[in-house]
Structure 1
């Protein structure tokens, strides 16, 4: 089995991602219902708490990556698990808005500590030297970030199933299960994840060519790299696009007079496509090379949004076919499957070769924060356009137009960004798999 060809550390990290998602999705999707139903909180509070959780996680990814660089990935991952346990325990003890808000924020902070550290460690877990390119660059096996997508999706599928079964005993039972899951992950990682102190990876900070740049803090390095910042801003369109499965698609279903059960079916379709097609789609991306894979992925996103726009209907319409929405979701997920491993595998190529490998945490954190910012800003604009479209009876596909334009912009602009980065660092272009086309 290809999964067994990875090192034990890599398999441990991928297993941790699966279980981390399992514990998350067994609880968080049911939080709003428990707050409104079991505890009688009003709609404003119910809406604010999940929003605070999302903001605390997305907004702190860069900070979490910086801590991973300072502490080492192992310590940051373990701390993220402990903070999420504390968040769930706070939710279990909550009976009013304040504690629910605190528990939700702690839950988000735990994810912000966990994810950039895990991605940073995975990015060089399979590299022979521990640096010098994205993991999974060896021929004959998928890049490690492809398996990260697959294992994470397994947890995302099984989590709600577990949570729905536990809700028969009440929301506290789901929280207790989540605490148990994260406690098990913490113990497993404590014993199985090798300790690699961040400071032991920083021996080259002070010397060598470009020593001043290498000695800068990782956060300042990634923020000062204009090519990387542009890359993150454009790549963030992928997260904004995927989020439309939970924002624009439900609106479109509502316009067609279809209830929430159909959304559940579409989410299940997205998960099934990911589990079935992630490996072959990623293999196609590797054959294309990173620049063409990015362009193809964003073209697929633009095509998905075009289908959504041209088949959109006005609110209150009934008797409309579900097929265009299914097509939109299917093409959207194909693009997302092509883009996500490619983007994650390319990030180490922007880390200065003379810098510490531990500095990758801030780079992964910045990429995730840009994606979260794109979701917040993009959904705000999209929501405004949806209101204006309904109020003024504009063409119903109007809200999809900015999404089409953003996807096309990313498809056209990302290959030149990669070429510009390669020209700026010619000594590394031939030795960096992420830019030479040997990895997705």
Structure 2
């Protein structure tokens, strides 16, 4: 479905995602350097602050989604913007470690309130778009979550550029710009999002199917939905895989004796591929159908890690080639483009058919929280394998093997976990938010 054909509310939310990522990436990538150079904090303190920020966002997504279900998505989105403003203001005022830690936690908590609510609200546009398709038309249509991936990536690309431009005036200038960006988003959404008492849009009627009974506590219904929990655990492999751009790929550059400056070029490659290929890749996924798209996406991730494993070398090797690493990143991003929007598009299919939108925030929150847990556990295991491989001179590709196996498991199992009342084929998909 073309971008212009989505309702104004959906276009507003997509624009908000772009600006939200712009404000996030103008500040957070420079946080570690600012804490070290401008405020003299040590490595342990910096690591704790960054870890607390990540955990307060990923770890609190489920709570943020539950609050979105209780408060309504509009209130949760606006509150998320305000909490992030408060977090940036706290960082600007910080002169010691406790305030830095508080500011980092508030920054993460703002994202945990904002993102699940935004995804839940966008899912209504996805269902409405499905209901508007003409009978006998093309199978499937472009998911709104494809546009979420693209707009989010634009913000992620432009944010560091803005932050770098402001760095000459100091970290406080970047924080002030971030505060201004989030304030503008808050005002825009205040006027453009429908009020809570506005009538909820009616979603297209799907064919009648047997659904699970509505739980006594809808906020926790996602945890009682065993099929959905398994879906989240398998789907979390995608976030774990994509996170290797930040964890395993830098390690691989070091093992090959390549300059750290190559990392910036690899991030640029990932962003360029997303912006150029997301639409055609999602169109190919649409033609495949939902189950085949998921299998193809995870098989592609496995292929990316196989390239990394086969070409891997022991630490200390000099003169290693960048080409295998570039190939790994390119194939990894291709798989992520197939998977991320598809996964988000499927979440409403697991929500019991009570009233429209019930529990969606919690369901989207659980997807993100499982991804955060997978990243935390997976990176710890992979880091340990890297250490053991170097110490005992195992095959240098050994640390990549668990990721290959996880991706193949998800490729084989995930299509069987999909709800039986899921329309086929569903939209294809991608994305990530700050």
Both structures adopt the same fold (TM-score exceeding 0.5): yes
User: How many angstroms does 1:146 deviate by?
Assistant: 0.1
User: How many angstroms does 1:321 deviate by?
Assistant: 1.1
Residue number in structure 2 paired with 1:105: 105
User: How many angstroms does 1:416 deviate by?
Assistant: 1.3
**Do the aligned partners of residues 249 and 357 (structure 1) sit closer, same or farther apart at CA in structure 2, a change above 3 Å counting?**
same
Residue number in structure 2 paired with 1:402: 402
User: How many angstroms does 1:214 deviate by?
Assistant: 2.5
User: How many angstroms does 1:257 deviate by?
Assistant: 1.3
Kept in 1: contact 2:258–2:319 (CA 8 A)? no
- The CA distance in 1 between the partners of 2:140 and 2:212, in whole Å, is 38
- The CA distance in 1 between the partners of 2:12 and 2:139, in whole Å, is 22
User: How many angstroms does 1:365 deviate by?
Assistant: 0.3
5 Å-filtered alignment, 1:6-405, equals 6-128=6-128, 142-196=142-196, 213-214=213-214, 216-405=216-405
Kept in 2: contact 1:201–1:358 (CA 8 A)? no
Kept in 1: contact 2:69–2:219 (CA 8 A)? no
**Do the aligned partners of residues 152 and 347 (structure 1) sit closer, same or farther apart at CA in structure 2, a change above 3 Å counting?**
same
**Do the aligned partners of residues 142 and 200 (structure 1) sit closer, same or farther apart at CA in structure 2, a change above 3 Å counting?**
closer
Kept in 2: contact 1:66–1:218 (CA 8 A)? no
User: How many angstroms does 1:212 deviate by?
Assistant: 9.4
User: How many angstroms does 1:127 deviate by?
Assistant: 3.3
Residue 127 of structure 1 aligns to a residue in which SS?
helix
String of CA shifts for 1:272-328, please: whole Å, max 9, x gaps. 000000000011111111100000000000000000000001111111111000000
User: How many angstroms does 1:394 deviate by?
Assistant: 1.0
Kept in 2: contact 1:72–1:198 (CA 8 A)? no
Residue number in structure 1 paired with 2:427: 439
5 Å-filtered alignment, 1:410-421, equals 410-418=410-418, 421=419
Kept in 1: contact 2:215–2:221 (CA 8 A)? no
Kept in 2: contact 1:313–1:397 (CA 8 A)? yes
Kept in 2: contact 1:120–1:358 (CA 8 A)? no
String of CA shifts for 1:106-126, please: whole Å, max 9, x gaps. 000000000000000000125
Structure 1 unpaired stretches of 5+: 203-207, 423-428
- The CA distance in 1 between the partners of 2:285 and 2:91, in whole Å, is 42
User: How many angstroms does 1:210 deviate by?
Assistant: 8.7
- TM (norm. structure 2) is 0.92
Kept in 2: contact 1:74–1:195 (CA 8 A)? yes
User: How many angstroms does 1:3 deviate by?
Assistant: 1.6
**Do the aligned partners of residues 12 and 280 (structure 1) sit closer, same or farther apart at CA in structure 2, a change above 3 Å counting?**
same
Structure 2 unpaired stretches of 5+: 203-207, 429-434
Kept in 2: contact 1:209–1:354 (CA 8 A)? no
Residue number in structure 2 paired with 1:426: none
- The CA distance in 2 between the partners of 1:189 and 1:139, in whole Å, is 33
- The CA distance in 2 between the partners of 1:211 and 1:145, in whole Å, is 25
User: How many angstroms does 1:198 deviate by?
Assistant: 10
- The CA distance in 2 between the partners of 1:359 and 1:138, in whole Å, is 31
User: How many angstroms does 1:131 deviate by?
Assistant: 9.4
Return 120-129 or 141-150, whichever deviates more: 120-129
Residue 187 of structure 1 aligns to a residue in which SS?
helix
Residue number in structure 1 paired with 2:432: none
Residue 214 of structure 2 aligns to a residue in which SS?
helix
User: How many angstroms does 1:237 deviate by?
Assistant: 0.2
Kept in 2: contact 1:78–1:186 (CA 8 A)? yes
User: How many angstroms does 1:35 deviate by?
Assistant: 0.2
User: How many angstroms does 1:247 deviate by?
Assistant: 0.5
Kept in 2: contact 1:131–1:357 (CA 8 A)? no
Residue 214 of structure 1 aligns to a residue in which SS?
coil
String of CA shifts for 1:198-218, please: whole Å, max 9, x gaps. 99799xxxxx99999325333
- The CA distance in 2 between the partners of 1:211 and 1:348, in whole Å, is 13
- The CA distance in 1 between the partners of 2:62 and 2:180, in whole Å, is 28
**Do the aligned partners of residues 360 and 199 (structure 1) sit closer, same or farther apart at CA in structure 2, a change above 3 Å counting?**
farther
Structure with the higher helix share, 1 or 2: 1
CA RMSD for the aligned pairs?
A: 2.4
User: How many angstroms does 1:239 deviate by?
Assistant: 0.1
String of CA shifts for 1:136-192, please: whole Å, max 9, x gaps. x99685210000000000000000000000000000000000000000000000000
